[in-house]
Every structure is written in C-alpha cells, then in structure tokens.
Structure 1
Amino acid sequence: MSPGSFYFQLQFGAIFTPADNAFQEATGLAAELEIEEIQEGGQAYKHRMPKGTKYGNLVLRRGFVSFNSPLTTWVEASINTDFSKPIKCTDVLLSLLNGQNVPLATWHFREAWPVKWSMSDFKSQENALAIETLEFAYAEFHRVA
C-alpha cells in the first residue's frame, strides 16, 4: 500500500517556528536530465547527449502568517534585496510522514533561497482562506537515505 501524500513536514535550516514549518502544499519535486542534440555532418539523425541536471523550484503554500516570523523575515530580505549583501541560502528538508509522525522519505534541498512570494486574490464574494505561496530555487536536491 502506498503512503498518502498529505502528511509531510518541512524544516528550513535552523528555523524551528511551528508556523514556519507548517504548509498545506509542497510541489516542484522534479529533476530532469537535459539533453543536447548534436548534428553530425552527413548523418540524417542527431546524437542525443546528456548535458546536466535541471531542477524546478520548490513551491510551498500555506495559510497567511500575519506575524513576522523568521521565515517571513528571510523571504522578505532575500526578495527585496539591493544585492549589497549576498542572499543567504539555507538547506531545506521535506519529509513524507506516516501516521505515527515517522519519516518514510526525506528530500534534502541544498542551498535554497527565496525567489518568489505571492498572495492569493482577495475576493469579497468568497469565503476563502488567504493563501501565501513561497517559491525557492536551490542548487540540487536528493533523497536522504
């Protein structure tokens, strides 16, 4: 029986604030081997050669956190930077948990940094949660043994 994908946990380096580790959605766990096509003279086909690994961004969604948490402070400082100081990177761990809160699998996103922050639309005719979306680029990710 496959585990459900609804029970997961995030950890951002040394940030341990419960609100900063609670998200309702995590997407973007994808890696793809890029391919370069090389045309050889006189041949009707192209050689397909591996070029390198390409990663998407880690996209996280949660209910809006209305206080300045350590995660929010880091995201705002990174996105609103004037580049007079380097952007601080941190490692992110994403764990899929079982019903007893034990990790079934953990993925390590090395040297992650915020690249996008957005809020859901505000609509007076709907009774919906305000959702913030945080997006992170990273150097690489791999599954932790």
Structure 2
Amino acid sequence: MNIRDILNLDYILPIIIILWSIIILSVPSVFSMSSYMVINILVGVIFSGLVCFNIVLKPDSAKIIRILTGGIELTIGFLGFAFSLELVYICLFLMLGSEFIGLSAALALTSGSMSGAGTTRRPETLSPEPSPEPQPL
C-alpha cells in the first residue's frame, strides 16, 4: 500500500465521514443552530452522493472499509438518540450507514452466487440417439 492508495477516494471518504460524524456528535450545542444545520445537511447529502458514486464506480475495492464505516455510522446514529442529538443528524448518520452497508451487500449478492453465469444452465440440444454400429460377420 503506497501513498496513492491511501489518498484514493476509497479510503479517504470513509475517514472524512467518520470524523465529520464524531465532530457533530461531540459538540451538539454548536451544531444545533439553524445555519450550521443547513450546512451539515448539505455536507451529508454530498457525502451520500459520493458514497453511492464511489461504490458503484469501484465495486471491488475497500469492501471491509465500507462495511466498517457503515457499522460505525449506524452506531453513531443510534447513539444520537442517547445523547438527544437533533433528529436531522440522526437521520443523516443512519442514512450514510445504511448506504454503505446496503450498497456493499447488494454488490456482494449480485456479483457472487446470484450472477447469471452461475445460476442458469444452457439448454441441452436434443439430438437423435446414435444407432449402434453394425458388427462384422
């Protein structure tokens, strides 16, 4: 793994999303103002679009990172209920987590055992049975 792989969108996007979620979760009083809320909703929607774009564009890269990020986002979303966080932020966290896990699971199911090559059989051609060869006298 070199620096080009680390700076790739596959690894940097989940790290930025997790850091953004932790910052919002740790300072809820600052982010409850309406101007910050609108900005964070816009950021969450942009992150959501980037997640979908990245997963569909590169389905085979960083699968574990995506699933871990989805689990962390879902956990942060459910912790938002315990910390009485704004419902908007809880929905953003749950949306991002479910996108990570849902898209990863959908790609895994469609590329694995449910692919067309593994489940369909080629129809057999029906040909007349060969007649036995005549035996010499």
* TM-score, normalised relative to structure 2: 0.26
Bigger fraction of residues in helix: 2
Bigger fraction of residues in strand: 1
Q: Select the structure of larger CA radius of gyration.
A: 2
